[in-house]
């Protein structure tokens, strides 16, 4: 099992990069840099590539609407080059709140666009002259839509690898099936090990029937908070508020992917209550309504024996990378948590 962590997109990145170096020395395997609507992920990943030596780096995630497919491929090839082959391209659709609200780009056809982007990226990395006739992307642009001067081009530089790993952040059945078919890695959110097979099993099985052998086994990357000790459950309170934000506030009624997931886990009544409260502006009450069962199931927080059992549950559910958020008060405490969980999975 690999151990990873995701940096906080709202924090002091330079300080976090120094901490990431200590995580690497403690045995961390991979670092994810998110991109929401804070600083971009690419400049920070380049900075981390120069500061680290061994740990893998991943975008977590680059939004599919905010860059052209070929720019995404060029960026991934550049990050793979400066990190000497340590980069993984994490892609995802984000949501209409960010894509339309911040970027001013229409949010549409996420699954079809993702499929086309993957095809284009892999053409670029193989240094083929890029030719793509899709519903959403056409390369080169047809004469009737442009000047008529465009011609197929290939990447000038030789990439470090012609197949940079791609992981997709996916929740819905169709998107999960696409991930299992085409990507090297899958990053779900709020992964509940005991219920994952019921929620995602059919979609994963469907996608894997079409999966190319050269992709290897699907790397399943589950994220969760981490705290090990006898009196640490109170550290989950901020996470309770985050779940309320996602389940209650990330979208309108009927258009919230995270609320749908809570319902698929069997928390229909609780998900409705959280959303009703959150959309009424009652954020504290919404957080209080988050079920304790859900909160504990999707975290690694508790005594060492309990954490060991939860790690085993994640492994049994097919998780291959634990993306932990160490809940220490100081950098030293967080580094120690990385060391401890590394030992638990050794």
21 and 134 together in one domain: yes
Question: Can you give the pLDDT at residue 10?
Answer: 86
Which class for 142: exposed (0-12), middle (13-18), buried (19 or more C-beta within 10 A)? Answer: exposed
pLDDT, tens digit (0-9, with 9 covering 90-100), for 56-89: 999 999 999 999 999 999 999 999 999 999 999 9
Please give the average per-residue pLDDT across 179-192, as a whole number: 97
Contact between residue 150 and residue 141 where contact means Cβ atoms under 8 Å apart: yes
Closest of 296, 293, 307 to residue 228, by C-alpha: 307
174 and 195 together in one domain: yes
Split into its structural domains, the chain has a count of: 2
pLDDT, tens digit (0-9, with 9 covering 90-100), for 251-263: 888 889 999 999 9
71 and 111 together in one domain: yes
136 and 220 together in one domain: yes
Least confident of 25-29, 108-112, 201-205, 233-237: 233-237
| Overall pTM surpassing 0.75 (yes/no) | yes
256 and 308 together in one domain: no
Contact between residue 285 and residue 248 where contact means Cβ atoms under 8 Å apart: no
Chain mean position to CA 42:
15
Domain that holds residue 236: 230-298
60 and 132 together in one domain: yes
pLDDT, tens digit (0-9, with 9 covering 90-100), for 271-280: 999 999 999 9
77 and 225 together in one domain: yes
153 and 71 together in one domain: yes
pLDDT, tens digit (0-9, with 9 covering 90-100), for 294-326: 999 999 999 999 999 999 999 999 999 999 999
153 and 214 together in one domain: yes
327 and 239 together in one domain: no
Contact between residue 331 and residue 25 where contact means Cβ atoms under 8 Å apart: no
30 and 163 together in one domain: yes
120 and 38 together in one domain: yes
User: Domain with 96 in it: what CATH number?
Assistant: 3.20.20.30
How high is the mean pLDDT of the chain?
96
Q: Where are the alpha helices (DSSP H) in 154-266?
A: 173-182, 193-208, 237-244, 257-264
Question: Can you give the pLDDT at residue 324?
Answer: 98
The pLDDT of residue 51 is above 90: yes
């Amino acid at each position: 099992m690999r151990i990873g962590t995701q940096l906080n997109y709202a924090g002091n990145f330079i300080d976090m990069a120094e901490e990431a170096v200590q995580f690497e020395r403690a045995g961390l395997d991979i670092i994810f840099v998110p991109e929401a609507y804070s600083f971009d992920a690419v400049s920070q990943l380049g900075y981390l590539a120069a500061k680290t030596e061994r740990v893998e780096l991943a975008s977590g995630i680059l939004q599919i609407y905010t860059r052209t497919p070929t720019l995404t491929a060029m960026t991934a090839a550049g990050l793979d080059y400066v990190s000497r082959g340590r980069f993984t391209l994490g892609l995802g659709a984000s949501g209409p709140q960010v894509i339309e609200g911040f970027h001013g780009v229409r949010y549409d056809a996420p699954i079809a666009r993702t499929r086309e982007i993957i095809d284009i990226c892999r053409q670029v990395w193989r240094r083929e002259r890029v030719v793509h006739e899709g519903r959403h992307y056409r390369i080169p642009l047809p004469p009737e839509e442009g000047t008529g001067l465009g011609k197929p081009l290939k990447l000038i530089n030789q990439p470090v690898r012609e197949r940079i790993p791609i992981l997709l952040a996916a929740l819905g059945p169709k998107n999960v099936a696409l991930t299992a078919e085409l990507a090297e890695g899958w990053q779900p959110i709020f992964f509940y090990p005991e219920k994952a097979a019921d929620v995602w099993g059919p979609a994963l099985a469907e996608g894997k029937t079409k999966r190319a052998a050269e992709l290897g086994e699907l790397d399943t990357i589950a994220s969760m908070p981490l705290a090990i000790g006898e009196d640490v459950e109170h550290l989950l309170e901020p996470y309770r508020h985050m779940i309320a934000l996602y389940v209650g506030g990330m979208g309108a009624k009927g258009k919230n992917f995270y609320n749908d997931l809570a319902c698929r886990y069997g928390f229909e009544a609780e998900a409705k209550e959280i959303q009703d409260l959150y959309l009424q502006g009652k954020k504290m009450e919404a957080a209080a309504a988050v079920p304790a069962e859900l909160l504990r199931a999707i975290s690694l927080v508790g005594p060492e024996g309990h954490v060991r059992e939860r790690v085993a549950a994640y492994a049994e559910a097919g998780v291959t990378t634990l993306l932990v958020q160490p809940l220490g008060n100081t950098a030293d405490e967080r580094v120690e948590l990385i060391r401890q969980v590394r030992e638990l999975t050794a």
